[in-house]
Amino acid sequence: MNRRFILAAACVIAVCGCGPGSDVNGFPSAAVQAYCHFAYHCCTPSERATFPNGFDNTAQQYNFDNESDCNQKLSESAQVAYQAIQASVKDKRITWNSSAAQSCIDAVNKAASSCSAQAYIIATQGDPTMPGTKAVCDQSQFVTGTVAASGPCTISADCSGTGSDCTPPKQTGTTQTVTSGGTCTPLPTVGQMCQGQCEPGNSCCNAQVCVALQATGASCTSGGGGCSAQPCDATKDFCGWNGTALLCSTKIAGGQPCGKDMNGVDLPESCQSNQCTNGSCTAAGGQAVTYSICTGNSDGF
């Protein structure tokens, strides 16, 4: 997610949904159909001019001005762009879960049929009021790499390790000619140099070196951007002042006093919702979210 799905030559790639086909061969065109249907069924021409992910620019690039034309021309590009994943599924470097893909199809078609921007965003991008929760259309829900570390790959999605990367496949011209040659390389671990990511259980910070996450109750040091020499697991803990020391402490439920740093400043990250208002943690989902995607409002994207 996350690698995004191809809707048109790496331009309109947000995992925008699906149509009648939930297998790997039918999915690209189905995704395009849902995207085009939402755009033409739910949005006016002026709203499409500012539609998220550059719909108006894409329409001009591919020279279409109605839903049928949109489906045909973007489907052609989507099928070409999706060849790498289709080849990996065929060669068993990737397993494809049709049932999970169908769940994405159902969710997005339901959102498009009712023109519910909220349902559309939750299905394709996740619920903004529930940070960290995967959307039903997150590619990791139905694409699983099977290639172990040091194994041959063509795209990063082939690799089985979390965050494992693959040397980009060779390409010829404008079509994606998938060849062998890549190798799955896992994320760095404790003490190894990193560039933003480490294997699970570690944090990439300070001098761009992987540092192990501290256990709940252990000493910690806080730093900008979530990095510290003794980082807590931000998915469940925060580094807060208990009156005598900084310790990794369990995140706080809504309605309870927010955690503080050693200077007595409230810490939004101390709350389960990551929201602290007037000294108290806001309940998850307590922040108002708007979903005016047809008018170009980026909330939820």
pLDDT for 138-155, tens place per residue? 989 999 999 998 899 988
Residue-range definition of the domain harbouring residue 154: 147-186
Q: Using an 8 Å Cβ cutoff, are 151 and 183 in contact?
A: yes
Q: What is the pLDDT of residue 11?
A: 29
Split into its structural domains, the chain has a count of: 2
Q: How confident is the model at residue 244 (pLDDT cuts 50, 70, 90)?
A: very high
Asked whether residue 26 is assigned to any structural domain, the reply reads yes
Residue 53 pLDDT > 60: no
Residue 300 host element (H or E): none
231 burial type by CB count under 10 A (0-12 exposed, 13-18 middle, 19+ buried): buried
Asked whether residue 226 is assigned to any structural domain, the reply reads no
Asked whether residue 25 is assigned to any structural domain, the reply reads yes
For range 218-226, the mean pLDDT: 72
* Residues 23 and 127 both lie in one domain: yes
* Residues 124 and 7 both lie in one domain: yes
* Residues 83 and 39 both lie in one domain: yes
Residues 4-48 have pLDDT tens digits of 333 322 223 333 333 346 899 999 888 888 888 887 888 777 776
Asked whether residue 195 is assigned to any structural domain, the reply reads no
How far, in whole angstroms, is CA 10 from its chain's centroid?
A: 15
Residue 269 host element (H or E): none
Q: What is the pLDDT of residue 85?
A: 92
What the block records as the tokens of 91 is 């060669």
* Residues 29 and 123 both lie in one domain: yes
For range 158-175, the mean pLDDT: 70
Asked whether residue 67 is assigned to any structural domain, the reply reads yes
Pick the range with the lowest mean pLDDT from 151-165, 231-245, 284-298. Answer: 284-298
The whole-model pTM stands at 0.66
Q: How confident is the model at residue 171 (pLDDT cuts 50, 70, 90)?
A: low
Per-residue buried b or exposed e for 182-203, using 16+ beta carbons within 10 Å of the residue's own CB? bbbbbbbeeeeebeeebbeebb
Q: Give the best-scoring range by mean pLDDT among 124-138, 166-180, 215-229, 259-273.
A: 259-273
∠ Cα 128 132 137 (to 5°): 75
* Residues 119 and 98 both lie in one domain: yes
* Residues 11 and 112 both lie in one domain: yes
Asked whether residue 95 is assigned to any structural domain, the reply reads yes
What DSSP character marks residue 264?
S
Q: How confident is the model at residue 62 (pLDDT cuts 50, 70, 90)?
A: low
* Residues 135 and 1 both lie in one domain: yes
- Comparing CA positions, the residue from 297, 291, 286, 219 lying closest to residue 256 is 286
* Residues 171 and 75 both lie in one domain: no
- Comparing CA positions, the residue from 41, 107, 122, 54 lying closest to residue 301 is 122
* Residues 129 and 4 both lie in one domain: yes
**248 vs 216: CA distance, rounded Å:** 5
Q: What is the pLDDT of residue 297?
A: 39
* Residues 156 and 130 both lie in one domain: no
